[in-house]
A and B are shown apart, each in its own frame.
Chain A
């Protein structure tokens, strides 16, 4: 589903990703672990299509198509979803209005008809319940005054509503206490699907206790330096990143 080959990305004049290669099949959950500054967030932003990241070499192919040629909104309509590390606050747009506009934009781009207000409300309510997102949150301005946990829950709620084919979770565990983490992880696990691929980006092994990946990649200095099964996370936790970085140096 997703093929990243020899990807080089610069921000300004500074190279961040230096030859990253990665392949994910439908139904798989991959984790990318790495220390601060390794290029984790750059990878997630490049996949979602944020401006300011220059691809100097390599390719990203998504379902056979050049992903880099698509605008962010086109990627979303084709099923790419990035749960952001820092969801933005947008005063003046209610959460419900935002969800409705986004959902119908994606549907329109796929040639489907709009869901009416009642249809959207029903869909959102059903999904919101399991993620403990209250009616009151949906009426508030998007992410404004939300706690860290509420913001992350809303990201996962969007994932449940938009039903993406490729979901990228960027540091979804950051800023969450253990209860919030468990709730978010449960939400993600219920969305595991043979047709859906997930890329879980994290600094810590903790999240992977709850969202157990099929494959783990260690990202350091802009490249994948180690790969393995879920046991790799435990090794990283026990021995730290430095140990692995030394081995590959």
Chain B
């Protein structure tokens, strides 16, 4: 690894720290508790994570958003200040240590960007992105993560006071693709992060989301759907930390798995000492179509504060036979009735998407995926 092959704007100490972490832990596998349902080492086989560099594309940069190519030297101060803060996440450390490129984006203070910013990760290998919204700035980020082989993307998001980000992620992937992505979000007081992750799985797909509600009044609202068939696998693992008082988080994840597919949701909510008055709600549900489909739903709570309101729940089931009969008795053919019920099952999670265009886009993708399995 030569210096020219690394992100030039990343402070040396941060890169060394990340490289050391990845060297110490290696590629995660199923004997590590957090990766029990998602054996990355087995999926990658002998090839391992490699040192190839994936690409990124911002097709139309909305006016007002600043962009910096991470493969270039002399980054602006806001890039050096925020890029590559260690999180202890091993795959995030890998993308930081092994990426040679990526992109940094900034919305300046007070600026509300109306057009969505479209960020696409492409190709095989490691890639890194940083998004900074300064105080009272707002943006909709639309991420498309189509992948055919292996990719590990690390996305860092920093939200200043009162900033608001809507994030919609669609990840169409080949059945043989291995896709890992880490989203790390830090929120200052009264900042708001609303995200929807629509997943269609791959040979292995892992979405790892770490949210730090660092300022009082900060909010994170996560939702997601997955529609999986064949031998596809999709894992969404979240860790939301309420580090300050009066912070709020909600999570609503819905999965449909057919064939021999496997849907995984692991969600941990930590309410730190002193984060009083915090409110969190977690819900994960899965519908299994067929005996060989599997869902592993694991919501977890750790509370070290007083006067908090936390709820969590998980449920796995089959399509409701009563509902199916009711629709058929009204003349709706079985396949269409099943499709309608599956769509209805996912709908409340899709309805969480604030942007109407993006919501419709996700609906269309879901309909296509559901048609294939209903």
Which residues in A have some Cβ–Cβ distance to B below 8 Å? 48-51, 71-73, 75-77, 82, 84, 87-88, 90-93, 98, 101-103, 105-106, 109, 158, 162
Contacts and interface: CB of A to CB of B under 8 A. Distances in A.
15 contacts: A72-B329, A75-B329, A76-B328, A88-B322, A90-B326, A92-B346, A93-B341, A93-B344, A102-B327, A102-B330, A105-B333, A105-B336, A106-B331, A109-B331, A162-B330
Contact of B340 (A49, A51, A93, A103): A93
A76 B345 contact: no
A105 B337 CA distance: 10
Interface string B319-359: 01111011111111110110011011111100000000000
Dominant SS at the B interface? helix
Contacts of B323: 88, 90
Contacts of A73: 328-334, 337
A162 to B, nearest CB: 7
Contacts of A158: 330
A129 to B, nearest CB: 21
Contacts of A84: 326, 329
Contact of A101 (B322, B325, B340, B347): B340
Nearest to A107: B331
Nearest to A92: B344
Contacts of A103: 331
A48 B340 CA distance: 20
Given A90-B344, A93-B344, A101-B340, A51 B331 contact: no
Contacts of B329: 48-50, 72-73, 75-76, 82, 84
B328 A91 contact: no
Q: Which range contains the number of B residues in contact with the other chain? A: 20 to 34
Contacts of A87: 326
Nearest to A72: B328
Contacts of B344: 90-93
Given A51-B321, A90-B341, A102 B347 contact: no
B331 A102 contact: yes
B330 A76 contact: yes
A120 B322 CA distance: 26
Interface in B282-335: 320-323, 325-334
8 tightest CB-CB pairs across the interface, nearest first?
A92-B344, A76-B331, A106-B331, A92-B347, A72-B328, A102-B330, A105-B331, A88-B326
B343 A51 contact: no
A71 B328 contact: yes
A88 B322 CA distance: 7
A163 to B, nearest CB: 12
Contacts of B327: 90, 98, 102
Nearest to A50: B325
Contacts of A93: 340-341, 343-344
Interface string B43-80: 00000000000000000000000000000000000000
A51 B334 CA distance: 13
Contacts of A106: 330-331
Nearest to B328: A72
Contact of B331 (A77, A88, A91): A77
A72 B341 contact: no
A103 B327 CA distance: 11
Nearest to A90: B323
B326 to A, nearest CB: 5
A181 B343 CA distance: 35
Given A88-B322, A92-B348, A102 B343 contact: no
Nearest to B342: A92
Nearest to A93: B344
A72 B327 CA distance: 9
Given A48-B329, A76-B331, A93-B344, 20 more contacts: A49-B329, A50-B325, A72-B329, A73-B332, A73-B333, A73-B337, A76-B328, A76-B330, A90-B327, A90-B344, A92-B347, A93-B340, A98-B327, A101-B336, A101-B340, A102-B330, A105-B332, A105-B333, A105-B336, A109-B333
A218 B346 CA distance: 45
Contacts of A82: 329
Contact of B345 (A48, A72, A92, A102): A92
A76 B6 CA distance: 66
B276 to A, nearest CB: 34
B347 to A, nearest CB: 4
B355 to A, nearest CB: 20
Contacts of B322: 88
